[in-house]
Amino acid sequence: MNADPLPPERLQLSARELADYLSSGLDHPVSVVITHNRISLIRLRQKPEGGSELRAHACLLQAPPETLRALKRFLISHRRADWRAVCAFLQTTPRESRPVPAATLRSAGNFHDLQAILDDVNTSFFPGPCPCRITWGRSAGRPRGRTRRHIAYGSYHRDPGLIRIHPLLDDTRVPRDFVAFIVFHERLHASLGAETRGSRQWHHTARFRSMERQYPEYDRHQKLAQTLFRSLDKPEPKRKWSDVLRLF
């Protein structure tokens, strides 16, 4: 789920749709190659025969509209700020890879045990066995010298049925019930799936939103989602020895 308000329906584009969107109005076409490369997330090169080729990680297909618009603007005017906005999105999104072997899943964090939280969420809100596994995403690091404008706290990948939670949430300052709310959002995706209209898939449907709003203290969690990630980017203030001693 995302901290910034998004349009009510969020698209999952195909590579073809992304290429069409980026190429429209340009003199030369842009071809799109989708990768699962976690090191090189995005690369743009001019093709000797004309036009350009964009190689990007699959999570770009789930980018919010403002990120796609920034990419399009960059192709037209080559403003570095637009390119940086696209890179920032890719760097802060937990990245789906090819099917993950169970050995690489990591649900026990330093502060929060995701498997225990998923078990609780499943028992409380979803009948039947849980159809998905859960893991902490890989750390993408803190953005340097910039304020984060957006973060994906979690993501759900239908194939291979995996919930990823952003590692920034494995922090003493994040209440367990907030992590549970994020897990609930992703678990709801596993239950409801996507609606296909034409060639597009819609995940945050009206039905999804109305079921999500029934989560206990929904408004409080939503409010926290808008601000929490900014404070987590700052290191936790160190306690002075004098404060610690006062506790005893």
Residues interacting with Zn ion, by CB under 5 A?
1
How near is the Cβ of 248 to Zn ion at its closest, in Å?
45
How near is the Cβ of 186 to Zn ion at its closest, in Å?
7
Strands 162-165 and 133-136: parallel
Three-state secondary structure call for residue 226: helix
Contacts of 130 (CB under 8 A, 6+ apart): 118, 119, 122, 187, 190
Q: Give the nearer residue to Zn ion in terms of CB position, either 1 or 22.
A: 1
Q: Give the nearer residue to Zn ion in terms of CB position, either 152 or 174.
A: 152
Q: Give the nearer residue to Zn ion in terms of CB position, either 78 or 197.
A: 197
β-bridge partners, 164: 135, 155
Q: Residue 209 — φ and ψ, nearest 5°?
A: -60, -40
Q: Give the nearer residue to Zn ion in terms of CB position, either 1 or 61.
A: 1
Q: Give the nearer residue to Zn ion in terms of CB position, either 1 or 42.
A: 1
How near is the Cβ of 111 to Zn ion at its closest, in Å?
23
Contacts of 230 (CB under 8 A, 6+ apart): 147, 148
CB-neighbour burial class of residue 30 (10 A; exposed 0-12, middle 13-18, buried 19+): buried
Contact by Cβ (8 Å): 128, 187: no
Q: Give the nearer residue to Zn ion in terms of CB position, either 74 or 153.
A: 153
How near is the Cβ of 7 to Zn ion at its closest, in Å?
13
Helices of type H across 41-175: 65-77, 80-92, 114-125
How near is the Cβ of 45 to Zn ion at its closest, in Å?
32
How near is the Cβ of 64 to Zn ion at its closest, in Å?
11
CB-nearest residue to Zn ion: 1
CB-neighbour burial class of residue 177 (10 A; exposed 0-12, middle 13-18, buried 19+): middle
